[in-house]
């Protein structure tokens, strides 16, 4: 009888342990772009077990040129997405109630990279030039910048010709554009790796031009925030993600190795990912803890998006587009 009872207790213990493992909360994260060090913190949190320690079963879905995170979450394909604030606010105004629950990147990495041989020295020299621009929501800061400069984007000598740029640097290398969109941590270095020297380039950082908007943040659907269990899950997810990002900042080479492990395309290289992680680390630093949405930074982004007098990205300042509640819960 004693042996039977002991066996039964052991079985119950195993069942309980199995039950706890099965009870881990599922979270699906949709990235804005392909697997790379831009998202290293999430992959590090997954690989290092930070999500598991938070009782989370996290699935990370890479993005790509044909994947819009806003559409994915609208269709129920993700619980949380990485997105830039401009497309998120544009989608919100059009009826998709996205809410920023954490702002991971503190600074913008967006820039316009031009060949000096084009004669461009200042933004005033853009007039009459061809500029490569990413779309799918990435064009919003650019259009606001051109509006600030009073440069029409319809071409001609008094405006600029917009070349719908693919997610590569070919237009600059093939002399199809005088300037192209680049990120400090990615495409700029692709230009350098192609053999163009830094002193042959004129680079305009959106941060320096006063038209920077907030980039990689975490967004969920507004109605989900009515569920206390969901909020607790997102708080745990944020805390584990920040732990992953902190580790990635402190160990860029290891973070790059982890990213490469999850890159199914085989297109990334160790050198490029280490360099990317180093540049991304500069964008994460701020006066507040990682994940905090700085109200002034939010207002600056809104101001930029409202600045297009003829065709502003948004028509009014959004209400309820971000919350500190998840951040505060994660801090506790």
**So what's the pLDDT on residue 223?**
98
- Condensed to tens digits (0 to 9), the pLDDT of residues 131-190 reads 999 887 778 889 889 988 999 998 888 899 999 998 889 999 999 999 999 999 999 999
Please give the helix or strand (H or E) that residue 317 lies within, else none.
none
Structure tokens of 16? 């309980």
Q: Is the pLDDT of residue 8 over 60?
A: no
CA distances from 73 to 32, 78, 97, 271, 280 (A): 12, 5, 11, 33, 25
The pLDDT of 186-208, averaged and rounded, is: 96
Per-residue pLDDT for 197 more than 60? yes
Q: Tell me, what's the pLDDT at 66?
A: 87
Domain boundaries, the chain: 23-106+214-331, 110-205
Determine the CATH number of domain 110-205. 3.40.190.10
Say whether 110-205 and 23-106+214-331 share the same fold: yes
User: Could you tell me the two tokens for 29?
Assistant: 């994260």
Residue-wise pLDDT for 249-273, tens only, equals: 999 999 999 999 999 988 889 999 9
Asked if 84 and 214 touch (Cβ cutoff 8 Å), the reply is: yes
Provide the pLDDT for residue 143: 87
First CA to last CA distance, the chain: 47
Task: Kindly give, in sequence order, each residue whose CB lies less than 8 Å from that of residue 70, ignoring residues fewer than 6 positions away.
Answer: 81, 83, 87, 88, 91, 96, 98, 137
Residue 135: predicted pLDDT:
83
CATH T-level fold of 23-106+214-331: D-Maltodextrin-Binding Protein; domain 2 (3.40.190)
pLDDT interval class at 1 (50, 70, 90): very low
Q: Which of 4-13, 178-187, 319-328 has the lowest mean pLDDT?
A: 4-13
Q: Length of the chain in residues, anyone?
A: 332
Query: How many angstroms separate the Cα of 309 from the Cα of each of 127, 147, 317?
Result: 19, 7, 15
Q: What is the mean pLDDT of residues 79-106?
A: 96
Q: What per-residue confidence (pLDDT) applies to 11? A: 43
Per-residue confidence (pLDDT) for residue 304, from 0 to 100? 87
How many angstroms separate the CA atoms of 204 and 181, rounded?
10
Using the predicted structure, report yes or no on whether residue 96 has a pLDDT greater than 90: yes
Instruction: Sheet with 179-183: list strands edge to edge.
Output: 161-164, 130-133, 179-183, 110-115, 201-205
Q: How many CB atoms lie within 10 A of CB 237?
A: 28
Read off the pLDDT of residues 13-69 as tens digits, 9 standing for 90 and up. Answer: 434 444 444 579 999 999 999 999 999 999 999 999 999 999 999 999 999 988 999
Q: Which residue has the higher pLDDT, 312 or 205?
A: 205
Per-residue model confidence (pLDDT) at position 139: 85
Which pLDDT value is given to residue 196?
96
Q: What's the pTM?
A: 0.88
Tokens describing residue 162: 């917009």
pLDDT number for residue 22: 56
Contact predicate 180/172, CB 8 Å: yes
Q: Phi and psi of 118, rounded to 5°?
A: -75, -10
Number of CB atoms found within 10 A of residue 49's CB:
10
Give the pLDDT score at 7: 38
Closest-CA residue to 169 (of 130, 113, 220): 113
pLDDT exceeds 70 at position 83? yes
Section 185-208 average pLDDT: 96
Q: What is the mean pLDDT of residues 305-311?
A: 68
Q: How confident is the model at residue 74 (pLDDT cuts 50, 70, 90)?
A: very high
User: d(Cα 291, Cα 58) in Å, to the nearest integer?
Assistant: 19
Place 308 in a pLDDT band, splitting at 50, 70 and 90: low
- Position 284 pLDDT exceeds 60: yes
Shortest CA distance to 73 belongs to which of 136, 31, 104? 31
DSSP annotation string for 71-87:
HHHHTTS-SEEEE-HHH
């Amino acid at each position: 009888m004693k042996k039977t009872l002991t066996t039964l207790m052991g079985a119950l213990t195993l069942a309980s342990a199995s039950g706890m493992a099965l009870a881990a909360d599922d979270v699906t994260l949709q990235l804005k772009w392909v697997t790379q060090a831009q998202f290293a913190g999430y992959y590090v949190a997954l690989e290092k077990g930070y999500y598991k320690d938070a009782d989370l079963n996290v699935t990370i879905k890479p993005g790509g040129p044909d994947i819009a995170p806003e559409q994915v979450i609208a269709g129920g394909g993700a619980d949380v997405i990485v997105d830039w604030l401009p497309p998120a606010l544009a989608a919100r105004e059009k009826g998709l109630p996205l809410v920023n629950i954490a702002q991971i990147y503190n600074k913008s990495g967006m820039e316009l990279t031009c060949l000096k041989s084009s004669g461009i020295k200042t933004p005033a020299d853009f007039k009459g030039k061809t500029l490569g621009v990413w779309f799918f929501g990435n064009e919003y800061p650019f259009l606001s910048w051109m509006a600030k400069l009073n440069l029409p984007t319809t071409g001609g000598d008094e405006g600029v010709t917009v070349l719908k740029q693919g997610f590569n640097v070919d237009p600059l290398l093939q002399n199809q554009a005088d300037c192209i969109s680049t990120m400090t941590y990615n495409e700029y270095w692709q230009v350098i790796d192609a053999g163009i020297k830094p002193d042959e380039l004129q680079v305009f950082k959106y941060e320096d031009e006063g038209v920077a908007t907030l980039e990689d943040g975490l967004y969920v659907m507004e109605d989900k925030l009515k569920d206390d269990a969901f909020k607790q899950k997102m708080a745990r997810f944020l805390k584990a993600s920040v732990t992953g990002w902190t580790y990635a900042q402190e160990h860029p080479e290891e973070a790059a190795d982890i990213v490469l492990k999850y890159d199914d395309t085989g297109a990334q290289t160790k050198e490029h990912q280490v360099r990317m992680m180093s540049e991304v680390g500069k964008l994460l630093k701020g006066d507040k803890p990682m994940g905090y949405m700085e109200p002034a930074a939010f207002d600056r982004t809104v101001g930029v998006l409202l600045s297009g007098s003829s065709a502003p990205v948004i028509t009014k300042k959004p209400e309820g587009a971000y919350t500190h509640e998840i951040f505060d819960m994660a801090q506790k």
